[in-house]
Homo-oligomer: A and B are copies of this chain.
Amino acid sequence: MPAMEVWIEYSSTYSYLTVARIGRLAAQQGVALDWQPFFLPPVREQQGLGFPFPEASAKTAYMWRDLERRAASLGLPYRRPQTYPVNSLPSARVALAGKADGWCQRFTEEVFRLHWTQGCLIGSDDNLRQALATLGLDAAEVLERANSPANKEALKAQTPRALERGIFGAPSFVVSGELFWGDDRLEDALAWARAKG
C-alpha cells in the first residue's frame, strides 16, 4: 500500500483544509497516512524564517479571505477563530502520544474541527479534553503521558527530522523523499504516492 508522511502543525491555518479532508481522500485512494505531529516554530527559526503571517499585513488579510473562499469551494464548514496564532504545543504533544495507540488522526481531526467550526480554541484545555472525550479516552491518563519527559523529547526530536526532509512550513507531505508543501499540493502528493509510493 502506498504511504505518505503527513506533517501537521496545530496552529497552521491552511492545515485545517487538509485535516478536514485528508482522511477521506487517502482512504478513497488507498494511501496509508503516517502522521507526524511536530512543532513548526523551531524548524523555521533554525532556517532563519520568521513568522509567515505578521499581524495587520496585507498578506495576513489575504490569508483569511483565501481560507474562507477555499473552505467554501471544498464544501468545508468554516468559522474564523477569534485568536491567531494559538499555542499548538499541548495538542502536538497529545497527538504524538496518540500515534503509538493509533488515534493520532482521529484526535487531530477532532481538535481542528472544534477550533474551526465550534470556536473551541486549539491550545485551550477545553479543546484537548473535549477531543479526548469524543475519542473515549481518559484525559488524565493521556495528558500525563503527553507531558512526560520522554514524550516531550520525542516531539523535540521531530525538529531535526523535519529539517532533514527540507520541511519549512505546514501542512507538508513526504512521499519517498519527495516533499510537497501546502494544502494546495495535497492532491499532487496523493497522486505521487499512488504512482511511486
Chain A interfacial positions (CB closer than 8 Å to B): 47-49, 54, 57-59, 61-62, 65-66, 69, 73, 163, 166-169, 179-181, 184-185, 188
A58 touches B188 (CB 8 A): no
Q: Which residue of B lies closest to A61 (CB)?
A: B166
> Which chain B residues border A49 with CB–CB below 8 Å?
54, 57, 59
Instruction: Report the minimal beta-carbon distance from A143 to chain B, rounded to whole angstroms.
Output: 33
B188 touches A62 (CB 8 A): no
B62 touches A57 (CB 8 A): no
Number of copies: 2
Instruction: Report the minimal beta-carbon distance from A182 to chain B, rounded to whole angstroms.
Output: 8
B47 touches A179 (CB 8 A): no
> Which chain B residues border A48 with CB–CB below 8 Å?
54, 57
> Which chain B residues border A181 with CB–CB below 8 Å?
62, 66
CA distance A184 to B48 in the complex (A): 26
B179 touches A57 (CB 8 A): no
B184 touches A58 (CB 8 A): no
CA distance A126 to B66 in the complex (A): 39
A-B contacts, 23 listed (Cβ < 8 Å):
A47-B57, A47-B58, A47-B59, A48-B57, A49-B54, A49-B57, A49-B59, A57-B168, A58-B163, A58-B166, A58-B167, A58-B168, A59-B168, A59-B169, A61-B166, A62-B166, A62-B168, A62-B181, A65-B179, A66-B181, A66-B185, A69-B188, A184-B184
Known pairs A57-B168, A62-B179; list 7 more (Cβ under 8 Å): A47-B57, A47-B58, A58-B168, A59-B169, A62-B168, A66-B185, A73-B188
> Which chain B residues border A59 with CB–CB below 8 Å?
47, 49, 168-169
CA distance A163 to B59 in the complex (A): 11
> Which chain B residues border A163 with CB–CB below 8 Å?
58
> Which chain B residues border A166 with CB–CB below 8 Å?
58, 61-62
